[in-house]
Amino acid sequence: MQFVLASHNKKKMAELSAIVSSLGIEIIPLPEGAPEPEENGKTFEENAIIKAKSAAEFTGLPALADDSGLCVDALDGAPGIYSARYCEGTDEDRNAFLLKNMQDKENRACRFVCAIACVLADGETLTVRGECEGTLLRENHGVGGFGYDPLFYVEKYGCTFGELPAEVKNTISHRANALNKLKAILKDKVN
């Protein structure tokens, strides 16, 4: 069974594919020319639903979308739903901007949050949420993953998401936690 991923992010596609492939679900990329819906929701869940519905309508296929972000306690949950748009530029620019905003903060507690929306062939919409707790470092460590991964330290493993092998990250991440919840729901629906 094919699901279209409402994203052009190749790293996100690989991560999602690795997690849901055991259900016999093949994740295919969003076709070029697909509309980019305005993410004007106020929560991760609302933005994920907006993206999944847009992809399903455009392709006629069941669709998956996630909306993920880093929530930092000392910044009242920022960057949150604006994580990918926290500042102009690249992942490195956003990491530098976050570190600048955290210069005088002692509390480094943070969490990655992921909401996944799934629009099934019959139009039913499912949402799940996963989180992963961590600590925000004061400098980048590692080159793996993407986004804020080089700053996100996981105490249990003694390293950042940027240093963890993908197969380990894919079992503990916020996205993995959300996808495992979704897998449990989809297991009955796709078989």
DSSP letter string, 115-161 = EEEEE-TTS-EEEEEEEEEEEE-SS---S-SSTTGGGEEEGGGTEET
On whether 112 is known to bind a ligand per the annotation, the reply is no
Please count the other Cβ atoms lying within 10 Å of the Cβ belonging to residue 135.
15
Catalytic positions:
67
Q: What is the dihedral of CA 13, 16, 21, 27, to 10 degrees?
A: -40
Lowest mean pLDDT among 7-16, 86-95, 113-122: 7-16
Lowest mean pLDDT among 14-23, 51-60, 81-90: 14-23
What residue segments make up the domains of the chain, in order of their start?
2-190
On whether 187 is known to bind a ligand per the annotation, the reply is no
Average pLDDT over residues 54-77: 96
On whether 11 is known to bind a ligand per the annotation, the reply is yes
Please write the tens of the pLDDT for every residue from 117-139. Answer: 999 989 999 999 999 999 999 99
Is the pLDDT at 165 greater than 70? The verdict is yes
Mean pLDDT, the chain, rounded, equals: 92
Which CATH architecture best describes the domain 2-190?
Alpha-Beta Complex (3.90)
**Is 0.85 surpassed by the pTM of this model?**
yes
Is the pLDDT at 9 greater than 90? The verdict is no
